[in-house]
A = this chain, B = another copy of it.
Amino acid sequence: MDFAYDARTEELRTRLTAFMEEHVYPAEPVFALQREQAEGDARWSAPPVVEELKAEAKRQGLWNLFLPGEHGAGLTNLQYAPLAEITGRSPHLAPPALNCAAPDTGNMEVLSEFGTEQQRKQWLEPLLAGEIRSAFAMTEPDVASSDATNIETRIERDGDSYVINGRKWYISGAMNPKCAIMIVMGKSDPSAERHRQQSQILVPRDTPGVDVRRGMRVFGYDDGDHGGHAEVVFTDVRVPAENLIGEEGGGFAIAQARLGPGRIHHCMRLIGMAERALELMCRRATDRVAFGKPIAEQGVVQEWIAEARVEIELLRLLVLKTAWLMDTVGNRGAHTEIQSIKIATPAAVQSIIDRAIQVHGAGGVGQDFPLAELWAAARTLRLADGPDEVHKRSLARRELKKYV
């Protein structure tokens, strides 16, 4: 149970922090302006400044840090976690700048672990190079997708092809013109055992029958710079049988495999977001005067600041422990911890950001501070990968089993 940052981690943290200060934070206002002015295809693409940041990050070797093994930077989860935290301080710029943004990260992990040589060559390589983007199509509007067995999209074998029919939404990144490939989760065999009905398959976005209909909103945001969150309809979409990832019926297992690292990434970025919000809250409270004294001297605001600091310290340790467990005993041995951080982190960070908003007054809900947008991201993560309640239920059942 040693979570200390080792030498490589410390070195990367120093370099990454410098990159944030020299390149990312100064790019934030440029980014905001470019988004504001984007029209047409550009509305759903990363603004130009992100491409500049990518080039610089790649040059500095701050690239694909998330990916363990030979295809990526080769860091452990425990080594990458503190870096993910730092990128969370500017979550719209830093993760894509480092080619470490969801859902590409999960897709690259899946291709790296389960992809055939051909699949890796065709899709993993350009993803690793940051030349294309990708999407992961799982959530469906018509069913409670948190229960994966509810999924209705069909993936049916027909000769040398699979034919896909179904409707998905909140497919992040899929509005992006650079999004070239989608991993689609669907049912290949509704008659199989409950967790063997699903398969995952690669569907190039330009395949006939793929209809990327519209961008779903998150509160009022379209997250256009991330490629939005698309509603996508698949009508008789035909792809070669070799596009299947892993084996038929293996979709649920692959989905589980991607969850562990994904949650660590999300949670560490959330902690970075919370640190940013706490910093903004402290600065604002120090600068503003109301009723004769700085807001920072108001007892209620001090209580918020203290609770935020305590909460962050609590969360960070548990996420680091989870990363360490993943590295040492694997996904399965870290099951309780992976669920725990998913339950604890988004809710707590949402609350910290909410209070930072309150300290900012009207400004807190608007576009001149990053807080409202950070809040929306944290709030949404209480639903993404299944609502908190599903995870609590599952964790409780495991706890109860100790006593029967």
> Is there an interface contact between B147 and A291, defined as CB atoms closer than 8 Å?
yes
Q: Give the docked Cα–Cα distance between A399 and B283 (Å).
A: 11
Number of identical protomers: 4
Which residues, 373 to 404 on A, are CB-close (under 8 Å) to B? 373, 375-376, 379-380, 382-384, 387-393, 395-397, 399-400, 402-404
Question: Does any Cβ of B come within 8 Å of A329's Cβ?
Answer: no
Main DSSP-derived SS at the A contact region: helix
> Is there an interface contact between A217 and B367, defined as CB atoms closer than 8 Å?
yes
Q: Give the docked Cα–Cα distance between A364 and B150 (Å).
A: 19
Stretch at the interface among A92-100, A153-161, A294-302: A294-302
With a cutoff of 8 Å between Cβ atoms, the chain B residues found around residue A221 in the complex are 219-220
With a cutoff of 8 Å between Cβ atoms, the chain B residues found around residue A358 in the complex are 382-383, 387-389
Q: Give the docked Cα–Cα distance between A315 and B361 (Å).
A: 24
> Is there an interface contact between B318 and A399, defined as CB atoms closer than 8 Å?
no
With a cutoff of 8 Å between Cβ atoms, the chain B residues found around residue A382 in the complex are 358
- A–B Cβ pairs within 8 angstroms, 8 of them: A141-B363, A144-B290, A169-B366, A217-B365, A299-B302, A300-B303, A309-B399, A314-B318
Residues of A within 8 A of B (CB): 1-5, 139, 141, 143-147, 150, 169-170, 216-222, 229, 278-279, 282-283, 285-286, 288-291, 295-296, 298-303, 305-307, 309-310, 313-315, 317-318, 321, 336-337, 340, 343-344, 357-358, 361-368, 372-373, 375-376, 379-380, 382-384, 387-393, 395-397, 399-400, 402-404
